[in-house]
């Protein structure tokens, strides 16, 4: 981010930490989340990445408003609103400070961490069957109710997937010294397999089996309240939300499997079939897993491109783990 934007962001972060006195601050590539006893305040960083541009205050405002709107269907009681961050003539910055608006935060009700799926799995416990069933029902209802895609989005679905696959292939090939030749090899195989599956992918689009879903369905975005809360939908790129429901379910299954629960993904896909949603072929289902693994490997290595990467020793091993899973799934995708 530009020096001036970084300096203002750093001042805003420090001011919010003083004002909110959060129990914890969670930092991601694109945001800071200040966790107080009963609230979460998300401040978007002034950054630009692939498919994401938060470089200006108006762009961050639009992203905040989009996040609020998109998360209402699955997390209406969690997303409370968007609040202005102001700067007084004295230079004081805060949520309760009079003055010019310099940024916005998304205000959320803080969810119980003990019921967060990632927390549960990291504790060594699988997802309880009743909670798993509730999640399956919630997501199946949401995905079935999704409206038909606009024609222009439907037409570009495969080409967007293909561009993303090539982006992962090319990005990972640059890390040969850290990841070994397997990265480029699996990337090439995935791109070739996706080219081969083009007709099937577009057939599912034509049959309205590809919908606007969550876009980033991982365990950390699921909380077992009543009803189940699924939050943090991708707000910055609609193409990332255009998914096959079985891809979405398999992605959550992949991330849950890595955390020790191999049953959640199959249970979710079984629930989608029970709801009457036609599944893809086994080869395409396997390819969805390959592509998700490659994206996660690429994003892992992207952390090392930051000027001051957090936990730098974490990312290459994570990428290698995803690449190993991708290689396994690629065999089935090529059949």
Residue 182 has pLDDT above 90, yes or no: no
pLDDT in tens, 74-107: 999 999 999 999 999 999 999 999 999 999 999 9
User: Are 138 and 224 contacting, i.e. CB atoms less than 8 angstroms apart?
Assistant: no
List beta partners, residue 222: 230
Torsion, Cα 307 313 316 320, to 10 degrees, reads -160
**What's CA 4's distance to the chain center, in Å?**
28
Question: Lowest mean pLDDT: which of 1-5, 79-83, 164-168, 298-302?
Answer: 1-5
- Per residue in 130-167, pLDDT tens? 999 999 999 999 999 998 898 888 999 999 999 999 99
Listed in sequence order, the DSSP H helices in 101-155 are 117-122, 129-144, 151-155
Tokens of 63: 């992203």
Rounded-to-10 torsion of CA 207, 209, 212, 214: -170
Going from the N-terminus, what domains does the chain have, and what CATH number goes with each? 3-110 (no CATH), 117-333 (3.90.1200)
Question: Is the separation of the CB atoms in 44 and 60 below 8 Å?
Answer: yes
Q: pLDDT tens digits for 189-218? A: 999 999 999 999 999 999 999 999 999 999
pTM passes above 0.75: yes
pLDDT at position 1, please? 57
d(CA 61, CA 168): 29
Distance between CA 96 and CA 82 in Å, rounded? 14
């Amino acid at each position: 981010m530009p020096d001036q934007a970084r300096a203002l962001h750093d001042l805003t972060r420090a001011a919010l930490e003083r004002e909110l006195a959060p129990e914890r601050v969670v930092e991601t590539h694109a945001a800071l989340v200040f966790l107080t006893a009963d609230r979460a305040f998300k401040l978007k960083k002034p950054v630009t990445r692939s498919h994401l541009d938060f470089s200006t205050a108006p762009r961050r405002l639009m992203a905040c408003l989009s996040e609020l709107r998109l998360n209402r269907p699955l997390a209406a009681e969690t997303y409370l609103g968007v609040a202005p961050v102001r700067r007084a003539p004295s230079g004081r910055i805060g949520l309760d400070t009079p003055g010019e608006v310099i940024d916005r935060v998304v205000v959320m009700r803080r969810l119980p961490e003990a019921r967060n799926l990632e927390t549960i799995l990291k504790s060594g416990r699988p997802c309880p069957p009743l909670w798993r069933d509730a999640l399956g029902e919630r997501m199946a209802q949401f995905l079935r109710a999704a409206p038909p895609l606009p024609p222009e989005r439907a037409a570009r679905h495969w080409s967007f997937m293909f561009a993303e696959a090539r982006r992962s292939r090319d990005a990972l090939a640059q890390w040969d010294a850290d990841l070994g030749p397997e990265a480029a090899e699996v990337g090439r195989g995935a791109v070739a397999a996706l080219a081969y599956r083009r007709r099937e992918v577009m057939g599912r689009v034509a049959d309205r089996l590809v919908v606007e879903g969550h876009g980033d369905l991982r365990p950390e975005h699921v909380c077992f309240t009543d009803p189940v809360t699924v939050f943090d939908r991708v707000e910055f790129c609609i193409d990332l939300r255009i998914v096959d429901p079985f891809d979405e379910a398999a992605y959550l299954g992949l991330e849950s499997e890595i955390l020790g629960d191999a049953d959640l993904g199959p249970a979710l896909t079984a629930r989608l079939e029970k709801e009457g949603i036609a599944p893809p072929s086994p080869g395409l289902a396997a390819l969805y897993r390959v592509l998700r693994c490659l994206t996660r490997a690429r994003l892992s290595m992207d952390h090392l491109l930051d000027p001051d990467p957090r936990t730098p020793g974490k990312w290459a091993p994570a990428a290698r783990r995803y690449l190993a899973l991708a290689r396994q799934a690629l065999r089935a995708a090529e059949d």
